Each structure stands twice: as C-alpha cells, then as structure tokens.
C-alpha cells in the first residue's frame, strides 16, 4: 500500500515545518518532507515538491500568508492545503511548539505512529 505524501511548509524551513517533519518522519502511514517559502530556506518549496505531495500543511496564513504565497507562486499546482495557524515563536522541537503542532495535526493525520517491529 502506498503511503500518503505530506509536505509541511513554513517560511524558513528551520523550526516549524522541520518539527512537523520530525514528528511524522517514522510514521509508516506517511512519507513526509518539509520546505520553506523564503529564498534562503535550506529546502525551498518547488513545483516538483508540491506535485509530489498528496496534501500540504502550511504553518500560518494569518501572519505570513503561506497559503496565498503558494497559490501565487504555483497557480498551476492544485493540492489540498491546510493552514495550521502556528505562529513563528518557537525553536525546532520546543515542547510548546510540539504540543500546538500535535493539537492541530492529529485531527488530520492522527497521532504519530512508530514503525512496526519486523
């Protein structure tokens, strides 16, 4: 069975999207990647990454216009986009960021699962 492909997007691809990727990296249900909208992001969002994804989760439309920027830059790529409404206030892996991230992701993806033992 093919795993669903999930792309997490924030501005810099340093803290928020990387935290989300860390949470679901080993989940056997999903293939996950993260990217950033800023030109200096270690992994910038590309058309190919968006086409790869089955679903896209952005961090904050309200403050940073992530959903709007994706649609403006890649109008020809139509993927389901969910806004998590998580502000850029915490460092990667911060317990408060993880708590907020899980509160908003679990309704969509379920809690992160560990890989099954062989």
For range 66-87, the mean pLDDT = 96
Cα dihedral 104, 15, 60, 79, rounded to 10, equals -80
- Stated pTM of the model: 0.95
Architecture of the 4-109 domain: 3-Layer(aba) Sandwich (3.40)
Domain ranges across the chain? 4-109
Q: What is the mean pLDDT of the chain?
A: 96
Residue 118 has pLDDT above 70, yes or no: no
Helix and strand totals (H; E) in the chain: 5, 4
């Amino acid at each position: 069975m093919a795993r669903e492909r999930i792309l997490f997007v924030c501005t810099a691809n340093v803290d928020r999207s990387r935290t989300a990727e860390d949470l679901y990296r080993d989940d056997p249900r999903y293939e996950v990647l993260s990217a950033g909208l800023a030109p200096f992001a270690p992994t910038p969002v590309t058309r190919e990454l968006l086409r790869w994804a089955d679903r896209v989760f952005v961090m904050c439309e309200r403050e940073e216009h992530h959903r709007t920027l994706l649609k403006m830059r890649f109008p020809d790529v139509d993927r389901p986009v969910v806004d998590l409404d998580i502000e850029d206030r915490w460092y990667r892996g911060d317990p408060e960021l993880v708590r907020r991230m899980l509160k908003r992701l679990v309704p969509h993806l379920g809690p992160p699962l560990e890989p099954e033992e062989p």
